[in-house]
Amino acid sequence: MSIEHERHLTADECDELAEALRHDAAASPDELKKANLLEMAECYRNLAQMKRLVLRKELTTLNSSGRTFIGTNRPVAAMG
């Protein structure tokens, strides 16, 4: 038996997955499957929104603590 490692999706990947699920739902003739796919798509869309909200909160907290970031995950002082 193999154990799969958990993979964390980015907000953009969650959005892409939600779009693919909506596309699959549109193509499905099975109404129950369509409803399940649309429900999953909505969950991934919500997850993407939450991930973006958390990221904004983290950036706001980091910036208010006096650290400045320039397109990286490292403070400017650590980039030298």
Tracing tokens 């099975």 back to the chain, one arrives at: 30
For the entire predicted model, the pTM comes to 0.68
What string of pLDDT tens digits covers the 80 residues of the chain? Answer: 455 556 789 999 999 999 999 999 999 999 999 999 999 999 999 999 999 999 888 888 777 766 555 555 555 444 43
CA distance 15 to 48: 6
Q: Considering the domain boundaries, does residue 70 fall inside one?
A: no
CB 17 within 8 A of CB 51: no
Q: Considering the domain boundaries, does residue 5 fall inside one?
A: no
Q: Considering the domain boundaries, does residue 52 fall inside one?
A: yes
Angle between helices 11-27 and 31-64 (to 10 degrees): 170
Q: Considering the domain boundaries, does residue 2 fall inside one?
A: no
Give the chain's domain count: 1
Q: Considering the domain boundaries, does residue 65 fall inside one?
A: no
Q: Considering the domain boundaries, does residue 38 fall inside one?
A: yes
Q: Cα–Cα–Cα angle for 29, 15, 68, nearest 5°? A: 175
Q: Considering the domain boundaries, does residue 28 fall inside one?
A: yes
Q: Considering the domain boundaries, does residue 49 fall inside one?
A: yes
Domain with 33 in it: 11-59
CB 14 within 8 A of CB 27: no
